[in-house]
Amino acid sequence: MAIVSTLGMTAPALAADDFSGHDKLKAHSEEFRKRVVEVTEGVYTAIGYSASNVTLIQAEGGSIIVDTSANPVDAKAIVEAFGDRMAHPVRAIIYTHNHPDHTGGATIFAGDDKPEIYSHKLLVTAKPDTGRGRRDGGDAFGTALPDDQFINAGTQLEYGRVTPHTREGFLPPTQTLDGEEESLAIAGVPLQLILTPGEADENISVWLPDREVLIAGDVFLKSFPNIAPLRGLPTRPADKWVASLDKLIALNAEHVVPGHMSTLAGVEEVKDALTAYRDGIKFVYDKTMEGISKGKTPDELVQEVKLPARLAQHPYLQEYYGTVAWAVRGIYSQNAGWFGGNPTHIFPLTDRERAEKVVALAGGKEKMLEGAEASLSAGEFQWAAEQADYILVMEPQNSEATKAKVRALRGLGQRQMNATARNYYLTVARSLEKGLQASDSK
């Protein structure tokens, strides 16, 4: 036992009695409270009715809509919430980007009005997210979690729970922006469409110079950005993201409407938040690239690259959706490939070979299981999960190891501030537990 514990001497990421992350994530749900906000005269944003925000711009002889929510059901609720403020005809719809939670309700806003549909040209060719097959039911959005286990999905409250994202209400663009930016007037409203890649390559931000309103899409959210998501997507380009934020900072906006969560007002507040967001991404990108050039491994960089206090404490860089650690790993692999530089890792042992040898060193499966139990009691949930995995690689049906893993994943999930990690831990725990129950009842 002592040997096993010594092997696990790295400090657990989260102390067993520390639920502050959980509490912060819970408080973050306030961002998704249902309401229509008057951003400034003639500009209204519906927050919390769907996964993403929908903005109404009052125009000459009608309305302009920026983003359309996740599906026709949500879109109908938003039309109702806008009420008389949304005059017909709807003259134009603008998609900030391709994601289905922003493009799924267009038919409802359009009705019979036949509006022009604007987007960047890249939206037309954008490939839908591939995602990864759901190993053991893992789901970063928590779609299948029961209500008492679900808190939120980081940028949204209800993904897939009440109203799934569908392409049912999508209308294809009729007007596409080709280059970096374009100034135009739609229904008497001067606006600028600015290509601002980050979370999506085709993301455009909408700038209303007369009203000093910036509708940013998902290039700016109230969380550390999800540069390298858990759910199986290519890493988003951090350097381009920084350049996009430079463009947005230069606008000196008075109001910002992000793709999700609360709007922000005040030139100084806006500048502070956009600058912190840019600086946070830039810091992680620069430090990771510097580490790569010095031959550091991804694991070393995850330990070393930490935001300085000013940024770490900033409300727009809390790790509800993305994390610094995953960004480091994503930026590393995107720029330096999969190999971290240690020759041991060129052709490593298979998981099974390693498990057999480590379990033998530990004194056999029973000892390893005792070790996992001891780790659970000590609140070392990560090490407990790894110990259980050694056994499960050898014996996937081992019910004691599965039970230990379920407890370990719950221990990790319940303490997480990151919504996508929490959701992933808890959905896998649930699916493993269901598997146990199914085999018990045979």
Give the residues lining the site for Zn ion (CB under 5 A): 52, 99, 218, 259
Residue with smaller CB distance to Zn ion, 52 or 375? 52
Shortest distance in whole angstroms from residue 259 CB to Zn ion: 4
> What SS3 class is residue 120?
strand
**Beta strand pairing call for 204-208 and 90-94:** unpaired
Shortest distance in whole angstroms from residue 99 CB to Zn ion: 5
Cβ(362)–Cβ(1) below 8 Å = no
Non-local CB neighbours of 341 within 8 Å, separated by 6+ positions: 295, 296, 297
Residues in the chain: 442
Residue with smaller CB distance to Zn ion, 99 or 329? 99
Residue with smaller CB distance to Zn ion, 52 or 387? 52
**Beta strand pairing call for 255-258 and 213-217:** parallel
Shortest distance in whole angstroms from residue 53 CB to Zn ion: 9
Residue with smaller CB distance to Zn ion, 229 or 259? 259
- C-alpha angle 81-83-86 in degrees, rounded to nearest 5: 110
Shortest distance in whole angstroms from residue 28 CB to Zn ion: 16
Cβ(208)–Cβ(59) below 8 Å = no
Of the candidates 230, 240, 200, 211, the one whose C-alpha atom is nearest the C-alpha of residue 55 is 211
DSSP string, 210-241: TTTEEEEETTS-SSS--SS-TTT-PPP-HHHH
Residue with smaller CB distance to Zn ion, 51 or 406? 51
Shortest distance in whole angstroms from residue 189 CB to Zn ion: 23
Shortest distance in whole angstroms from residue 211 CB to Zn ion: 23
Classify residue 343 by its DSSP letter.
G
Measured CA to CA, the distance from residue 117 to residue 120 in angstroms comes to 10
Residue with smaller CB distance to Zn ion, 77 or 362? 77
Residue with smaller CB distance to Zn ion, 205 or 375? 205
Shortest distance in whole angstroms from residue 27 CB to Zn ion: 21
Of the candidates 437, 307, 380, the one whose C-alpha atom is nearest the C-alpha of residue 11 is 380
